[in-house]
Structure 1
């Protein structure tokens, strides 16, 4: 009974809206960081890379297409690794599998602080950020029972608008509450991006350490809840 309760508590912590907001802050931070410090790109979502990959292929620029293909592969690899970790440790009592994901994110992001600016260095950093974001988006997909993303906001914006419409239509306050939860995730994502922009201008490539601090707090919250 104690073991089952421990798992349920930890699962609840990993799916709380507070944890979702902290991860969304990291997601916004990383997007601003890669845009300002790593060549003016957004590494969190892969839609742009897929479009640019198609354009380069159409141009016959196969070498240039690698710039967009490699981050896509890194993103896919992150999804696969997240699923491997989930399957291997989903029944673990001592540590929640999502805590392992957070630790991997931390080490990868810390490694990025040692990668200098410019050229292929920025590409390597962006690939690693894409990898981290895929781990996060695959491992943390539901908060308070609602499907939410913490590294991109298009789906969150759609859901916030949909639930707000449902509230206007049927006056069900639970629909409004859900809309506000999505809106909170979006706002914190924007705040994270603003902090990331300021920190990147001031600290340069070392600014990513701030995202590691937030992830460390996430890990500790999950760890405390698992005691």
Structure 2
């Protein structure tokens, strides 16, 4: 009898696509509604931190240091939840992180315009929790809140597939590019919602995470293609 292996839905392309939608949405939201910043990736904040330090602008440096620290705190939180709750049977530890993200995004929606810095800190924290909790799609390393690594890995896989004719490399490239497309679609959705609803638009991202939360009650078979509930 053929042995059927299972893996958590947390590594499925379907869930990765939903999370990428949320990631792109949040980047568009913070840029358009919360002061023209990108809260998902911290490279820009680190560069601007260095610039402000060189200029002797300590207050400006602190403005960029806070979201960097919030991102680091989000990574630590995800690891702590994994360590403390990783053996829970009825609720997957990643579902706990997604539930926390949803709650924090509701809090972001309630913050007024003068608290944009606090909103960006919370979104940075949420994105860090997500990127640390969901690191693979179909066994390959992915990110759902930023695209640079996905673009590099996807192009590398495409080159290897074209050079060797290996179909798995081509499928892997397709998954990487697919996640990028969903991230872009999320940014477009975020731009539309931000224009229509302003600060409250982030609630739509919370709904996307709720969809991800529900998807994780299913388990995907790596052999045979079926799905069954999480045991």
Aligned to 1:111: 107
Question: Alignment partner for residue 132 of structure 2, among 131, 138, 143?
Answer: 138
Q: Distance in 2 between matches of 1:222 and 1:175?
A: 26
Aligned to 1:122: 116
Would you identify which runs of 4 or more consecutive aligned residues in structure 1 move more than 6 Å? none
Which structure's residues are more often strand, by fraction?
2
CA RMSD, aligned part only? 1.3
Per the alignment, in what secondary structure is the counterpart of residue 113 of structure 1? helix
Q: Distance in 2 between matches of 1:146 and 1:166?
A: 15
Q: Distance in 1 between matches of 2:29 and 2:129?
A: 18
Aligned to 2:225: none
Q: Distance in 1 between matches of 2:38 and 2:12?
A: 27
Which structure's residues are more often helix, by fraction?
1
The structural deviation recorded for 1:89 is 1.0
Structure 1 unaligned blocks of 5 or more = none
Aligned to 2:230: 226
Question: Alignment partner for residue 173 of structure 1, among 160, 167, 175?
Answer: 167
Question: Alignment partner for residue 202 of structure 2, among 194, 197, 208?
Answer: 208
Question: Alignment partner for residue 45 of structure 2, among 34, 44, 49?
Answer: 49
Q: Distance in 2 between matches of 1:115 and 1:12?
A: 35
The structural deviation recorded for 1:149 is 0.1
Aligned to 1:100: 96
The structural deviation recorded for 1:217 is 1.0
Aligned to 1:69: 65
Q: How many residues align?
A: 218
> Is it true that 1:84 corresponds to 2:88 in the alignment?
no
Q: TM-score, normalised by structure 1?
A: 0.93
Q: TM-score, normalised by structure 2?
A: 0.92
